[in-house]
Structure 1
Amino acid sequence: MKRMTITTRLLVAFTAAVLCLVSAEPILAATALASESIPEGPAGVAMRNAAAQDKYLFVYFWKQSDPPTQAMRAVFEKAAGQMNDVADAISVQITDASNAAMVKKFGVSRAPMPLALAIAPNGAITRGLPVKFDEQQLKASVVSRGTSHCLKALQDRKLVLLCVKHQTGPNDFPGAYEFTQDERYSAASQIVRIDPSDSSEHGFLQSLKIDPSADQGVMVVLSPPGQPVATFKSDVTKDQIIERLAAASASCCPGGQCGPGESCCPGGNCEPATK
């Protein structure tokens, strides 16, 4: 029982420490708190309909119809109109009571306006574009399926065990499977599998410094808000994963103190590394 408590604390400390050291974009920090439920109102209906068609939903949040808001709406509508095969679009005034649930869900009541939000079919927020943006930025918010699955798990505050291998099967990455099946970690971790032969995933894999042409499988652990914190071969064991996460936790805030020049936990109170 004591061992369970210690290892659980290690995982919590590790996640908290990484969050201390990595600054998320403001919009991702807000949307990471979004619940699984789809909000009521016209925007919620649009979300549900887009997801049912395996399409993105572009949401244009705005407060007042001033010239800057109107100008950006024109950019938004032009870009969305060119992508109606992969995305639906909706305009949401944040002061409209019928949209209150949508505004609350994504925590945008105090966000800079206007704000364009891209929501993948699985509910992941793939891009938040406040105040001023161009058509290309909105188009770039449509990401690969593997990317959106990783984003969704990270926004749910989970560790992602990204398993990359050609022709991935149920017996590949046994350590990752055992880790996520362990009752100590099952609620706080998720496996995402990617076949590197899928060309749509190549940009994402290269951003993680993974060679899509490599024959050997690789697993990358990602922590909210999206920081790669450990890389393993496909035959890694559960104990090796736990050991590496414990080491990463200890190195973030050794002894509970933030290192010189490092971003710190709120108030400087990092959880001490478990000995």
Structure 2
Amino acid sequence: MKRMKLHVRMLAALTIAGCSLAPIASLKAQQVTPPQAVAASPAVAAMQKAAQDGKYLFIYFWKQEDRQTESMQTVFQQTTKEMAEVADAIRVQITDPDNAALVKQFGVDRAPMPLALAVAPNGAVTRGLPVSFEAQQLRDAIVSPGTAATLKAMQDRKLVLLCVQPAADATAFPGALELTRDQRFAASTQIVNIDPTEASEHSFLKSLGVEPSASDGTMVVLTPPGQAVATFAKHASKEQIVEKLTALSSACCPDGQCGPGVQCAPGQQCCPGGNCAPAQK
């Protein structure tokens, strides 16, 4: 795994088991390259078609024909065939020049092979499975819409304001909305709305410590690569949010792996886990 330094566009980094946001430590977080920026190829066309159809795309990256490649390919093909209603599947040989753009996009040129990736319709990589995997691991890559939206924002290196409230309630979280409209924070923050009445989101919410049956709205702030750092009530103001997040970032050093928009003063120590809040400018 030490050799597995993949780009976050391939965020096998965010391995979702039971909808938890647990990163594979050896993956490098970098900004995602939009699919439109990659040269056209059959594989890229398959990605675009899957997205247009609202389907997942499972990609089987391989380098050479050997026993492990053939064994995992059998598992991959049989399992994805069972998921044909919700997902498409393709095979991509990483040494084929026609696939160079896609290999670069996901940063898998030095990844252990074979490698299975699951890409959600919104472009988020929901699972990366190198070398050896089981059918259930592929099935678990189909995640809830809220999970996929959160993963995509994380892969874009954004601070996520996860707002949990029934869809009918349009009055909650005014502070979060103001924060994302503030030019100081607009580029580095993103709101993800989750309706707790949606059963598909319950596992994800519980993994964040949010009880789906709670009547009051809750906002959870997550920093890349997926750590929950703060929780707010639904009527928290922008000032309250900024104040709390700034306090959390006060111990961040210049070389720390910090969240978007952070400015660290010389001599400061790294914040816990290297996850810091947007700095006020």
Q: Same fold (TM over 0.5)?
A: yes
- Aligned partners of 2:63 and 2:114 also within 8 Å: yes
Residues 107-142 of structure 1, C-alpha deviation per residue, up to 9 Å, x if partnerless? 000111110000000000000001110000000000
Q: Which residue of 1 aligns with 2:34?
A: 36
Judged with a 3 Å threshold, the aligned counterparts in structure 2 of structure 1 residues 78 and 27 are, in CA distance, closer, same or farther, namely: farther
- Aligned partners of 2:251 and 2:268 also within 8 Å: no
- Aligned partners of 1:28 and 1:128 also within 8 Å: no
Judged with a 3 Å threshold, the aligned counterparts in structure 2 of structure 1 residues 93 and 34 are, in CA distance, closer, same or farther, namely: same
Query: Gapped runs of 5+ residues in structure 2?
Result: 1-20, 254-264
Alignment of 1:32-111 (within 5 A): 32-38=30-36, 39=38, 40-111=40-111
Per the alignment, in what secondary structure is the counterpart of residue 77 of structure 2? Answer: helix
Counterpart residue type for residue 175 of structure 1: G
Counterpart residue type for residue 195 of structure 2: D
The structure whose RCO (Cα within 8 Å, separation 6+) is larger is 1
Residues 211-265 of structure 1, C-alpha deviation per residue, up to 9 Å, x if partnerless? 0000000000011111101100001110111111111112455952348xx7779
Distance, in Å, in 1 between the alignment partners of 2:50 and 2:26 is: 21
Judged with a 3 Å threshold, the aligned counterparts in structure 2 of structure 1 residues 245 and 104 are, in CA distance, closer, same or farther, namely: same
Q: Which runs of 4+ in 1 moved over 3 A?
A: 26-30, 167-170, 251-255, 262-265
Q: How many residues align?
A: 244
Structure (1/2) with the larger helix percentage? 1
Counterpart residue type for residue 257 of structure 1: Q
Distance, in Å, in 1 between the alignment partners of 2:232 and 2:182 is: 19
CA RMSD in angstroms comes to: 2.3
Correspondence 1:256 to 2:268: yes
Tell me the CA shift for residue 33 of structure 1: 2.9
Distance, in Å, in 1 between the alignment partners of 2:175 and 2:153 is: 19
Per the alignment, in what secondary structure is the counterpart of residue 192 of structure 1? Answer: strand
Q: Which residue of 2 aligns with 1:206?
A: 206
Q: Which residue of 1 aligns with 2:240?
A: 240
TM-score by length of 2: 0.81
TM-score by length of 1: 0.83
Counterpart residue type for residue 196 of structure 2: P
Q: Which residue of 1 aligns with 2:118?
A: 118
Q: Which residue of 1 aligns with 2:9?
A: none
Distance, in Å, in 1 between the alignment partners of 2:51 and 2:27 is: 20
Judged with a 3 Å threshold, the aligned counterparts in structure 2 of structure 1 residues 223 and 200 are, in CA distance, closer, same or farther, namely: same
Per the alignment, in what secondary structure is the counterpart of residue 23 of structure 2? Answer: coil
Judged with a 3 Å threshold, the aligned counterparts in structure 2 of structure 1 residues 229 and 152 are, in CA distance, closer, same or farther, namely: same
Per the alignment, in what secondary structure is the counterpart of residue 58 of structure 2? Answer: strand
Residues 60-113 of structure 1, C-alpha deviation per residue, up to 9 Å, x if partnerless? 001111111111111111110110010000000001011111000000001111
Distance, in Å, in 1 between the alignment partners of 2:274 and 2:169 is: 41
Alignment of 1:174-189 (within 5 A): 174-189=174-189
**Percent identity of paired positions between Structure 1 and Structure 2:** 55
Distance, in Å, in 2 between the alignment partners of 1:204 and 1:28 is: 22
Counterpart residue type for residue 120 of structure 2: A
Distance, in Å, in 2 between the alignment partners of 1:101 and 1:26 is: 25
Q: Which residue of 2 aligns with 1:12?
A: none
Distance, in Å, in 2 between the alignment partners of 1:42 and 1:112 is: 23
